[in-house]
Amino acid sequence: MIYKLKYESKQHAEQDLNAKGVIDNAEAIVWVGLIIDTPPVFDGLELITEATYLDGYHVDVMIDQEIEFNNALNPSNPKHTFAGW
């Protein structure tokens, strides 16, 4: 199973995944973190517009068991994927 999860912070993600036994049993955990919504704009080396970010701290989990998450996402344009999945 692959889960795309959104948390308030990395600390909340670590606590939840540890409590559910994911950290010790996952095939892979990718701490995606903040996801850029709109990239920054530069003129040469001068920053014109700051990047904007999607809400939350994002984590992707690959694990061979089904786990109940109430914060799972199903993005239409994921920023990270597991190769071959």
Give the pLDDT band (50/70/90) at residue 84. Answer: confident
Q: In whole angstroms, what is the distance from residue 49 CA to residue 52 CA? A: 9
pTM: 0.86
DSSP 24-47: HH-SEEEEEE--EEE--EEETTEE
Q: In whole angstroms, what is the distance from residue 56 CA to residue 8 CA? A: 5
Tens of pLDDT along 42-73? 999 999 999 999 999 999 999 999 999 999 99
List, in order, residues 6 or more apart from 52 with CB less than 8 Å away: 36, 37, 38
Which tokens is 3 given? Answer: 């889960």
